[in-house]
Amino acid sequence: MSDTKNYILGVFDDEDVLLKAVGQMRSAGVKIHEVYSPFPVHGLDEELGYKKSRLPIAAFMFGVLGTTLALVMQIWMLGIDWPMIIGGKNFVALPDFVPVTFELTVLLAAFGMVGTFLVSSDLKPWKKANLLDIRITDDRHIMAIDLAKNKAIDSGEITKALKSSGATEVNDKKVEA
Amino acid sequence: MQVTSSVRKPLITGGKTVHDVTEDICKQVEGKPGKLWLMAFGISAVTLAIGLIAVVMTLWEGIGMWGLNKTVGWAWDITNFVWWVGIGHAGTLISAVLLLFRQKWRMAINRAAEAMTIFAVICAAQFPILHMGRPWLGAYWALPLPNTFGSLWVNFNSPLLWDVFAISTYFSVSLVFWYLGLVPDFATIRDRASGIRKVIYGALSLGWDGAARTWSRYESVSLILAGLATPLVLSVHTIVSFDFATSVIPGWHTTIFPPYFVAGAIFSGFAMVLTLMLVTRQVFKLHDYITIEHIELMNIVIIVTGSIVGIAYITEFFIAWYSGVPAEQYAFYNRMQGPYWWAYWSMMTCNVISPHLFWIKKIRTSIAATFILSIIVNIGMWFERFVIIVTSLHRDYLPSSWAMFYPTIYDVGVYLFTFGLFFSAFFLFAKFFPVINMAEVKSIIKSSSESIEEKTAES
């Protein structure tokens, strides 16, 4: 087994054509490796059969963590570690703790979610982007089909199907893994 | 499928294609800086340098350099702080609230507005930090750090401490929101660049490859961030208003402050966005992306928020009269008729009367009028904070301690410093970062561009 991967790339210049093509290719039994786009295409993840992202759950969990940490911090500092009478209020004056608790909830939820997103999508400053086609970040959508995963279908058939579903061009691409 | 309504005007004119968007925006980043840009940046940098002298003097000699006295212990510093924080409200409002409301016109202006937010909050932070006198010790006063004062902790009952948390959370969440939006655009620049630029933009783009799976997650992150940023943006100016509202000073002690401050913040923020966008549009020739339609919609937001501010002013007066509290009544009478009447009436004219000129369609679609009015609104909003702060303080409980506030050259200098900081940062951003969110604008090319309308009309 060599480390080279063989892709067939369908190039699309219209997001609506692309959406239809994804459906057509999938119903023809072709396994799509990934679709690359210069901008978010609504409904593309559903067409590709991707599950809904669980990032909102991560955000919620981090938010709960933020609320807990903020309350524990304030109650411990002003209520247990060094109680002081401030304006005749209770040591643990919960209504006064609401703003800081809210802010820390938002802070942890936002940073936690974005951090999870960066890790799960493997985005980092020193990563080199291996683009299958340089026009992905400009104006073309690329549908990549991995030949190794579609051995049952002849590559000529795939090319033909891509062309008939509206791809403006179909290219072969070898990538050293 | 997206449906184009014939009622809505196109958001992008000039029959742009997706590739044109890349070309038009990247051209600004890739080209050599123009003469106009160099001049504008030069003036800002010189202002920053002059202002820096005042900052250094304030740090060296102490805040006695400012015009504060025993009676008026808060004046320009806190006025400028609230003014800058207010300006910093439009960016996140545009990108988060308008995203939740699915207002697509936000897409051409959100990038620059968010940048403006970040720089405005940095400018705002200078004032409380400098007012600490010895800011190098400030972390112990403002943050719950373990210390050797017996671990005497910060006071979580104080609105000033809430402010520390609110502003720093707002700043960092806005920064992340802004940066995340920039990542796909950095990737676009990276793939057109070579040499050192490719390395820098490559690192900034975090290895972005536009995969559908990443876009799907990215969209869900943006939506949640917008959902988090919306209550955040409202909380920040609410908490800033608590700095005043929770005290017992007549003129400050009002429950109307939180909504009134938030409306005022959006009002001044939109005005500043307009000022900057009109200049950026002109310098970078972005007429096809920031259209008269955008300007008109922003002017409508200014009418709405300006009206809310106007009603708040009147309500404050009514409640002062209705409360029957003589001190409260005097505070408001003194604002209108006292030695600071000119500040009060400047505020009223700029904030309550001038935005209503935008009811006239000719004025709200005129670039020159919008530019002038956007500056007038921000002058008015500065006076609003000055009036609230200084006129409520200068005649305090004992007539023997009544005083006036006179700014020194150092008050002016520190204010100039923040102007220099704000504009230098904004011009650097405008030159080296894509000023318009390319990925988002590309996604509406099909549904909101002029060329599509023509195509539909032909068929």
Per-residue pLDDT of B199-242, as tens digits, reads: 888 889 898 888 888 898 998 998 899 889 889 989 999 999 99
Per-residue pLDDT of B397-430, as tens digits, reads: 888 999 999 999 999 999 999 999 999 999 999 8
pLDDT of residue B311: 93
**How far is C-alpha B101 from the geometric centre of its chain's CA atoms?**
20
Segment B444-458 shows an average pLDDT of 59
| 92-111 in chain A: CB under 8 A from chain B | 93, 96-97, 99-100, 102-104, 106-107, 109-111
The answer to whether A89 contacts B157, with C-beta atoms less than 8 Å apart, is: yes
Give the Cα separation of B317 and B260 in Å (integer): 13
Residues of A in contact with B19 (CB under 8 A): 138-139
Do A35 and A88 form a contact (C-beta atoms < 8 A)? no
Set out the domains of chain B in order of their start, with CATH numbers: 18-135+154-392+402-451 (1.20.1630.10)
Q: How far is A146 from chain B (nearest CA, A)?
A: 15
Alpha-carbon radius of gyration of chain B: 23
Residue A26: count other Cβ atoms within 10 Å of its Cβ.
Answer: 14
Closest Cα partner for A131 from A175, A165, A163, A161?
A: A175
Q: Are strands A34-36 and A4-12 parallel, antiparallel or unpaired?
A: unpaired
Q: Does residue A1 register a pLDDT over 50?
A: no
Give the Cα separation of A26 and A123 in Å (integer): 28
B168 Cβ partners below 8 Å, 6+ apart? none
Q: Does residue B7 register a pLDDT over 70?
A: no
In chain A, where are the structural domains located? Answer: 4-52+130-176, 55-120
Pick B211's closest partner by Cβ from A34, A86, A138: A34
ipTM score assigned to the predicted complex = 0.90
The structure tokens 């699915």 sit at: B102
Q: Does residue B1 register a pLDDT over 60?
A: no
Residues of B in contact with A99 (CB under 8 A): 159, 162, 165-166, 235, 239, 242
Q: CB distance from A164 to chain B under 8 Å?
A: no
Three-state DSSP state, B95: helix
Q: How confident is the model at residue A124 (pLDDT cuts 50, 70, 90)?
A: confident
Do B90 and B273 form a contact (C-beta atoms < 8 A)? yes
Token digits of residue B207: 């290895």
Three-state DSSP state, B209: coil
Around A168, how many Cα atoms within 13 Å sit in the side-chain half-sphere?
A: 11
Pick B221's closest partner by Cβ from A36, A113, A125: A113
CATH class of A4-52+130-176: alpha beta
Do A9 and A132 form a contact (C-beta atoms < 8 A)? yes
Give the Cα separation of B284 and B31 in Å (integer): 11
Token digits of residue B183: 């990542």
